[in-house]
Amino acid sequence: MLQGKRAIVTGAASGIGLATAELFAELGAGVVLADVDLDRAREHADRIGGVAVRCDVSKAADCEGAVAAAVAAFGGLDTVFNNAGIIRRSTVEDITEDDWDLVMAVNIKSIMLMSRYAVPHLRAAGGGSIINTGSGWGMSGGGRAVSYCASKGAVVNMTRAMAIDHGPDNIRVNCVCPGDTATGMLADEAAQLGATVESFYVDAADRPLGRIGQPREIAQAVAYLASDAASFVSGAILPVDGGGTA
């Protein structure tokens, strides 16, 4: 399905990013695992036959370096999964300016930076695929998550704009919008709100399918969008949320 594709996955040391890197490798892609936690990224890259790079996605030099690493390792680039993200549960009254700026830098500025360096190589390859991680909260609001909702709403509309800009170069740009998924970030949300992980997961399962998602389930949607099976799909916003936004 992805045989011979060359990909970068950000936030690849854990959660949805790791599940996607693993699935990409299983499907025949060469994968750069980009993450601020180089040790964990390297451990997983060694296991799946990928390449690990330390990448703070809010920094231009790091994003440029991740793209350069992919080109050096695989001779080019076909796919970028802009997945790295963070959440700070707060309202406009209690969020700090530093936290606001950090969420915007990691969740939205990062997509601009990584895509800026990737697009010339995708164009040189005759086209490719960029997949951005949005959220159900990029499509509707949520409580005590104002910076996260703002950033993911921006990701959704940025995806549409990028699809328009880069479609003439046969570069498809799409957005996958996970619902609550069993990752370290969801556990961190529980801690931020003073809840136990168990109770938080029960609350998060309040959706038509009656459960939270698993990282592999999100990865499968990303793999589809990266593949030639989605060759006429661009500008799409794909919820993978158990019916949470239905």
99: domain CATH number?
3.40.50.720
Q: How confident is the model at residue 67 (pLDDT cuts 50, 70, 90)?
A: very high
Question: What percent of the chain stands above pLDDT 70?
Answer: 100
Please indicate, yes or no, whether residues 171 and 226 belong to a single structural domain of this protein. yes
Q: What is the mean pLDDT of residues 87-106?
A: 98
Beta strand spans in the chain (E)? 6-10, 30-35, 51-54, 79-82, 128-133, 171-178, 237-240
Q: What is the mean pLDDT of residues 87-113?
A: 98
Please indicate, yes or no, whether residues 146 and 184 belong to a single structural domain of this protein. no
Task: Give the model's pLDDT for residue 47.
Answer: 98
Crossing angle, helix 184-192 and helix 197-204, to 10 degrees? 110
Residue 241 lies in a domain: no
Residue 242 CA to residue 123 CA, distance in Å, equals 35
Q: What is the mean pLDDT of residues 63-84?
A: 98
Catalytic residue (choose from 117, 148, 201, 224): 148
Please indicate, yes or no, whether residues 125 and 156 belong to a single structural domain of this protein. yes
| Structural domain containing residue 199 | 179-212
Residue 85 lies in a domain: yes
Please indicate, yes or no, whether residues 144 and 52 belong to a single structural domain of this protein. yes
Please indicate, yes or no, whether residues 135 and 120 belong to a single structural domain of this protein. yes
Domain count, the chain: 2
Q: What is the mean pLDDT of residues 225-244?
A: 98
Instruction: Name residue, tokens 């750069």.
Output: 32
Residue 186 lies in a domain: yes
Instruction: Supply the mean pLDDT for the chain.
Output: 98
Residue 240 lies in a domain: no
Please indicate, yes or no, whether residues 129 and 195 belong to a single structural domain of this protein. no
Please indicate, yes or no, whether residues 47 and 153 belong to a single structural domain of this protein. yes
Please indicate, yes or no, whether residues 137 and 204 belong to a single structural domain of this protein. no
Tell me if residue 201 is catalytic. Answer: no
Residue 164 lies in a domain: yes
Residue 246 lies in a domain: no
Task: Give the model's pLDDT for residue 227.
Answer: 98
Residue 243 lies in a domain: no
Q: How far is CA 236 from the centre of its chain?
A: 15
Please indicate, yes or no, whether residues 16 and 121 belong to a single structural domain of this protein. yes
Task: Give the model's pLDDT for residue 226.
Answer: 98
Please indicate, yes or no, whether residues 33 and 133 belong to a single structural domain of this protein. yes
Task: Give the model's pLDDT for residue 128.
Answer: 98
The pTM assigned to this predicted structure is 0.98
Closest CA to 118 of 168, 66, 83, 160: 66
Please indicate, yes or no, whether residues 17 and 79 belong to a single structural domain of this protein. yes
What is the four-CA torsion angle of 67, 71, 72, 74, rounded to 10 degrees? 130
Residue 204 lies in a domain: yes
Question: HEC states along 132-175?
Answer: EECCHHHCCCCCCCHHHHHHHHHHHHHHHHHHHHHHHHCEEEEE
Please indicate, yes or no, whether residues 109 and 192 belong to a single structural domain of this protein. no
Task: Give the model's pLDDT for residue 230.
Answer: 98
